[in-house]
A and B are shown apart, each in its own frame.
Chain A
Amino acid sequence: MSNAETTRSARKAPKTWSQLSAAGVRRKPSEYEVVTHNLIYHMDKSPTPFELAASAPLNAWYLRYREGSTFRVDDWNGFRDPHRLTYHSYVSQQNQREIHLDAIVDRFEAGGDRPPLSADWVAVLERVYLTSRYSSHVLQMAAMYLAQLSPSSYVANCAEFQAGDEMRRIQRSAYRAKSLSLQFGEQLADTQATRRIWEDDEAWQPLRKVLEELLIAYDLGEAFAALNLVVKPLHDAFFINVLGVVAQAEDDEELALMLDDFRLDSDRNNDWSKALVAYAVSQRPENRDVLAGWVEKWRPQTEAAIEAASAMLADRWPADRGDMGELVAETYEALLSDCGLLPTQAV
Chain B
Amino acid sequence: MPQLRRSDWYDIARDMNWNLRYVSHEQAFPPEIVGPMGDTEPATWWKWDEPYKLSYREYVYNQVDKDAGVAAVGAAIARSNLFDQLDEGWKGAIKAHFGAVTVSEGQSTLAESRMGRFGLAAAWRNMALYGALDEMRHVQIQLKVAHSLLEKDPQFDWAHKAYHTGNWAIIAAMSHNDELFLGSDVISTAIQLTFTFETGFTNLQFIGMAADAMELGDVEFGALISSIQTDEARHAQQGEPTLKLLLETGQKDLAQRLIDVSFWRAWHLFATLTGPSLDYWTPLEHRAMSFKEFMEEWIIRQFMDQLEDLGLEKPWYWDQFLDELDWYHHSEHAGIWYFRNTVWWNPDAGVSDSEREWLEAKYPGWTEKFGTLWDTIGESVRADKVDATFGKTLPILCNTCHLPVFKIPGTTSDCEPRQSVHEERTYTFCSEPCQWIFDQSPQRYVGTKTLIDRLTMGDIQPPTIEGILEYMGITPDIAGDDAAKYRWATERQPQLAAGAAA
Q: Cβ of B67 < 8 Å from any Cβ of A?
A: yes
Residues of A within 8 A of B126 (CB): 167
Q: Cβ of A269 < 8 Å from any Cβ of B?
A: no
Q: Cβ of B185 < 8 Å from any Cβ of A?
A: yes
Residues of B within 8 A of A199 (CB): 18-19, 21
Beta-carbon contact of A216 and B27 below 8 Å: yes
B35 to chain A, nearest CB (A): 9
B412 to chain A, nearest CB (A): 25
Of A13-21, A255-263, A337-345, the one contacting chain B is A13-21
Residues of A within 8 A of B160 (CB): 17-20, 37-38
Q: Cβ of B329 < 8 Å from any Cβ of A?
A: no
Beta-carbon contact of B12 and A212 below 8 Å: no
Q: Cβ of A129 < 8 Å from any Cβ of B?
A: no
Q: Which of B2, B63, B128 contacts A175 (CB 8 A)?
A: B2
Question: Given that A13-B151, A39-B139 are contacting pairs, would A31 and B117 also be in contact in the complex, using a CB cutoff of 8 Å?
Answer: no
Of B372-380, B442-450, B483-491, the one contacting chain A is B442-450
Q: Which of B22, B122, B141, B157 contacts A137 (CB 8 A)?
A: B122
Per the bound structure, the CA–CA distance linking A147 and B3 in Å amounts to 35
Residues of A within 8 A of B4 (CB): 175, 178-179
Q: Which of B18, B21, B23 contacts A195 (CB 8 A)?
A: B18
Beta-carbon contact of A41 and B103 below 8 Å: yes
Q: Cβ of A61 < 8 Å from any Cβ of B?
A: yes
Residues of B within 8 A of A164 (CB): 56, 129, 133
A198 to chain B, nearest CB (A): 6
Q: Quick one: CB contact mask for A147-171 with B, threshold 8 Å, 1 for yes?
A: 1100001001101100110011011
Q: Cβ of B216 < 8 Å from any Cβ of A?
A: no
Beta-carbon contact of B12 and A35 below 8 Å: no
Q: Which of A20, A35, A171 contacts B139 (CB 8 A)?
A: A35
Per the bound structure, the CA–CA distance linking A191 and B4 in Å amounts to 18
B interface residues, Cβ below 8 angstroms from A: 1-4, 8-13, 15-23, 27-28, 32-33, 55-57, 59-61, 63-64, 67, 103, 106, 109-111, 113-114, 116-117, 122, 125-126, 128-129, 132-133, 136-137, 139-141, 143-144, 147, 150-152, 154, 157, 160-161, 163-164, 171, 174-175, 178-179, 182-185, 402, 443-448
Per the bound structure, the CA–CA distance linking A167 and B126 in Å amounts to 8
Ranked 8 nearest A-B pairs via Cβ: A50-B183, A144-B116, A174-B13, A57-B32, A35-B140, A148-B113, A174-B12, A50-B178
B63 to chain A, nearest CB (A): 5
Residues of B within 8 A of A54 (CB): 447
A91 to chain B, nearest CB (A): 5
Q: Quick one: CB contact mask for A128-149 with B, threshold 8 Å, 1 for yes?
A: 0000011001001110110110
Q: 10 other contacts beyond A140-B125, A195-B18, with CB at 8 A cut-off?
A: A13-B150, A13-B152, A13-B154, A31-B144, A35-B143, A53-B443, A147-B109, A147-B110, A164-B56, A170-B13
Per the bound structure, the CA–CA distance linking A175 and B1 in Å amounts to 13
Of A94-102, A230-238, A322-330, the one contacting chain B is A94-102
Beta-carbon contact of A41 and B144 below 8 Å: no
Beta-carbon contact of A153 and B143 below 8 Å: no
Beta-carbon contact of A160 and B144 below 8 Å: no
Interface size on A, residues (CB 8 A): 82
Question: Given that A51-B183, A91-B60, A164-B56 are contacting pairs, would A41 and B154 also be in contact in the complex, using a CB cutoff of 8 Å?
Answer: no
Per the bound structure, the CA–CA distance linking A101 and B116 in Å amounts to 25
Beta-carbon contact of A19 and B23 below 8 Å: no
Q: Cβ of A306 < 8 Å from any Cβ of B?
A: no
A335 to chain B, nearest CB (A): 24
Beta-carbon contact of A216 and B18 below 8 Å: no
Q: Cβ of A34 < 8 Å from any Cβ of B?
A: yes
Residues of B within 8 A of A215 (CB): 23, 28
Beta-carbon contact of A167 and B129 below 8 Å: yes
Per the bound structure, the CA–CA distance linking A31 and B145 in Å amounts to 11
Q: Which of B1, B109, B117 contacts A156 (CB 8 A)?
A: B109
Beta-carbon contact of A213 and B110 below 8 Å: no
Residues of B within 8 A of A140 (CB): 116, 125, 129
Q: Cβ of A69 < 8 Å from any Cβ of B?
A: no
Residues of A within 8 A of B21 (CB): 199, 208-209, 212
Question: Given that A51-B178, A106-B2, A212-B23 are contacting pairs, would A16 and B33 also be in contact in the complex, using a CB cutoff of 8 Å?
Answer: no
Beta-carbon contact of B63 and A213 below 8 Å: no
Return the chain A residue nearest B478 by Cβ. Answer: A18
Beta-carbon contact of A52 and B179 below 8 Å: yes
Q: Quick one: CB contact mask for A19-41 with B, threshold 8 Å, 1 for yes?
A: 11000000000010011111111
Can you offer 5 A-B residue contacts whose CB atoms are under 8 A?
A53-B446, A88-B137, A148-B110, A171-B13, A191-B16
Beta-carbon contact of B1 and A102 below 8 Å: yes
Q: Which of B27, B61, B185 contacts A98 (CB 8 A)?
A: B61
Q: Which of B109, B128, B182, B447 contacts A50 (CB 8 A)?
A: B182
A288 to chain B, nearest CB (A): 28
Beta-carbon contact of B22 and A141 below 8 Å: no
A15 to chain B, nearest CB (A): 8
Q: Quick one: CB contact mask for A178-218 with B, threshold 8 Å, 1 for yes?
A: 11000000000101000100110000000011001101100
Q: Cβ of A59 < 8 Å from any Cβ of B?
A: yes
Per the bound structure, the CA–CA distance linking A34 and B179 in Å amounts to 28
Q: Cβ of A177 < 8 Å from any Cβ of B?
A: yes
Beta-carbon contact of A212 and B22 below 8 Å: yes
Residues of A within 8 A of B139 (CB): 35, 39
B64 to chain A, nearest CB (A): 5
Question: Given that A17-B157, A140-B125 are contacting pairs, would A88 and B136 also be in contact in the complex, using a CB cutoff of 8 Å?
Answer: no
Per the bound structure, the CA–CA distance linking A86 and B33 in Å amounts to 29
Return the chain B residue nearest A145 by Cβ. Answer: B117
Beta-carbon contact of A95 and B60 below 8 Å: yes
Return the chain B residue nearest A62 by Cβ. Answer: B183
A241 to chain B, nearest CB (A): 23
Q: Which of B12, B18, B129, B444 contacts A56 (CB 8 A)?
A: B444
Residues of A within 8 A of B20 (CB): 212
Most buried by B among A140, A144, A153, A209: A144
Question: Given that A51-B171, A53-B443, A213-B23 are contacting pairs, would A133 and B16 also be in contact in the complex, using a CB cutoff of 8 Å?
Answer: yes
Q: Cβ of A121 < 8 Å from any Cβ of B?
A: no
Per the bound structure, the CA–CA distance linking A174 and B2 in Å amounts to 13
A208 to chain B, nearest CB (A): 7
Per the bound structure, the CA–CA distance linking A105 and B5 in Å amounts to 13
A199 to chain B, nearest CB (A): 6
Per the bound structure, the CA–CA distance linking A141 and B32 in Å amounts to 18
Residues of A within 8 A of B15 (CB): 191
Most buried by A among B59, B443, B446: B59
Q: Cβ of A124 < 8 Å from any Cβ of B?
A: no
Residues of B within 8 A of A39 (CB): 103, 106, 139
Q: Which of B23, B55, B136, B443 contacts A160 (CB 8 A)?
A: B136
Question: Given that A98-B60, A171-B56, A174-B9 are contacting pairs, would A156 and B18 also be in contact in the complex, using a CB cutoff of 8 Å?
Answer: no
Per the bound structure, the CA–CA distance linking A211 and B10 in Å amounts to 24
Residues of A within 8 A of B67 (CB): 87-88, 91-92
Per the bound structure, the CA–CA distance linking A170 and B122 in Å amounts to 12
Beta-carbon contact of B33 and A61 below 8 Å: yes
Beta-carbon contact of B185 and A58 below 8 Å: yes
A222 to chain B, nearest CB (A): 14
In chain A, positions 48-79 with a C-beta closer than 8 Å to chain B are: 49-61
Q: Cβ of A109 < 8 Å from any Cβ of B?
A: yes
Per the bound structure, the CA–CA distance linking A168 and B59 in Å amounts to 10
